């Protein structure tokens, strides 16, 4: 399909009365994805409210169309469909926009009774001076659908660290279609905390937590990607063998796995083995024959100035390592659909 590069300067405001709160999220079921052949967006009428028309052509198996904003709400309006001579379906949504909004609008296609599947039709929207907006279609790429078959163990690429795209391993898919992911490889070695070994530390007070949720998240992910990273209530349990306090629970976008989670989400020691990215390999002074490295967990060790970690052989060290030492990191987070 021809790439659409035009910008549409429009008067934007997203009307609350047109944003339906009911959304059936992307599920991890075996939906058969309809084919998308093309899509477009156009301004069809005037000042307030502004009517914007979204159109998309799909194979005959598609059962509906929706437009979503990046907060998860639906942009609603008059939806119509027709069938061409080839049997393909053409869907058209005329949506009224009347209130301020900055973010993305994305077209979803209904694959079956339960599954709404995102397409590559993503439009960036920016609000200007209360009067105008830009709908910028620079994010468009050749149309294709993401199949609703994401499952535990799958890998996906999201974000970029030190010039390398990051591959994430799916650990869990919840009922709302959110994905718990962990970096498939060790991104680099970092201190758990900057204080020396005499200072007690918990995940809440650690320098590593602060770095992951500020410098790391801002540098690694684009603004559009950051919107999809959920803020998570993180439970910080005490050490299961020694009772060392885990400190206060936290709310984080990026976190490390706990001892319990490292046991829950990996089948055995071999499954926990983690290789290094090209960048990380350049940092490490010595790499064992198996090519793996150790990586931090957020749980405390057997003393309050130690943190648990995973050995280079995949075993879990509940006794822990001094928090001021360099150990590999495998960040984790919940990714919204």
DSSP assignments along 33-74, one per residue: PPPEEEEEEEEEE-SSSEEEEEEEEE-TT--EEEEEETTS-E
Distance from CA of residue 123 to its chain's centroid?
Answer: 18
- For residue 320, the model assigns a pLDDT of 96
Rounded to two decimals, the pTM is 0.58
Closest residue by Cα to residue 118 from 2, 50, 220, 23 = 23
What is the chain's percent helix, strand, coil content, to nearest 5? 10, 40, 50
Q: Which two tokens stand for residue 162?
A: 């030190």
- For residue 219, the model assigns a pLDDT of 95
The pair phi, psi for residue 125, each rounded to 5°, is -125, 130
Closest residue by Cα to residue 39 from 113, 133, 130, 145 = 145
- For residue 76, the model assigns a pLDDT of 65
Cβ(330)–Cβ(295) under 8 Å?
yes
Per-residue pLDDT of the chain (337 residues; tens, 9 = 90+): 333 333 333 333 333 333 333 333 333 334 455 666 666 666 544 445 556 777 788 778 888 888 877 656 656 677 788 887 667 888 888 776 655 555 667 788 887 777 787 776 666 654 333 333 434 333 322 222 233 467 888 888 889 999 888 999 999 988 878 899 999 999 999 999 986 556 899 999 999 999 999 999 999 999 888 988 999 999 999 999 999 999 999 999 999 999 999 999 999 999 999 999 989 988 887 787 777 899 999 999 999 999 999 999 999 999 999 999 999 999 999 998 7
- For residue 334, the model assigns a pLDDT of 94
Distance between CA atoms of residues 255 and 41, nearest Å: 38
Give Cβ neighbours of residue 164 (< 8 Å, ≥ 6 apart): 277, 278, 279
What's the CATH code, domain 7-136?
2.60.40
- For residue 283, the model assigns a pLDDT of 82
- For residue 21, the model assigns a pLDDT of 33
> 3-state SS of 69-89?
ECCCCEECEEEEEEECCCCCE
Half-sphere exposure of 16 (CA within 13 A, CB side): 0
* Residues carrying CATH 2.60.40, the chain: 7-136
């Amino acid at each position: 399909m021809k790439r659409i590069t035009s910008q549409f300067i429009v008067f934007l405001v997203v009307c609350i009365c047109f944003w339906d709160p009911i959304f059936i999220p992307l599920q991890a079921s075996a939906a058969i994805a309809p084919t998308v052949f093309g899509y477009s967006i156009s301004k069809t009428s005037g000042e307030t409210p502004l009517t914007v028309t979204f159109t998309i052509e799909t194979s005959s198996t598609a059962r509906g169309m929706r437009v979503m904003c990046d907060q998860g709400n639906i942009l609603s309006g008059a939806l119509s469909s027709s069938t061409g001579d080839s049997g393909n379906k053409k869907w058209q949504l005329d949506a009224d926009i009347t209130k301020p909004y900055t973010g993305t609008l994305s077209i979803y296609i209904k694959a079956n009774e339960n599954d709404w599947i995102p397409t590559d039709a993503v439009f960036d929207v920016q609000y200007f001076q209360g009067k105008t907006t830009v709908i910028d279609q620079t994010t468009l790429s050749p149309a294709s659908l993401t199949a609703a078959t994401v499952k535990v163990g799958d890998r996906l690429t999201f974000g970029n660290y030190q010039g390398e795209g990051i591959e994430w391993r799916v650990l869990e898919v919840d009922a709302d279609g959110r994905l718990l992911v962990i970096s498939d490889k060790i991104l680099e070695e970092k201190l758990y905390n900057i204080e020396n070994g005499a200072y007690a530390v918990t995940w809440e007070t650690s320098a590593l937590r602060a770095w992951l949720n500020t410098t790391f998240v801002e540098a690694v992910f684009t603004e559009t990607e950051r919107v999809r990273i959920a803020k998570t209530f993180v439970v910080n349990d005490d050490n299961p063998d020694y009772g060392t306090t885990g400190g206060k629970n936290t709310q984080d976008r990026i976190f490390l796995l706990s001892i319990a989670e490292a046991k829950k989400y990996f089948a055995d020691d071999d499954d926990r083995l983690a290789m290094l990215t090209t960048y990380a390999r350049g940092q490490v002074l010595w790499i064992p024959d198996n090519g793996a490295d150790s990586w931090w967990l957020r749980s405390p060790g057997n003393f309050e100035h130690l943190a648990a970690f995973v050995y280079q052989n995949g075993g879990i060290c509940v006794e822990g390592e001094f928090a001021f030492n360099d150990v590999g990191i495998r960040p984790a987070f919940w990714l919204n659909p």
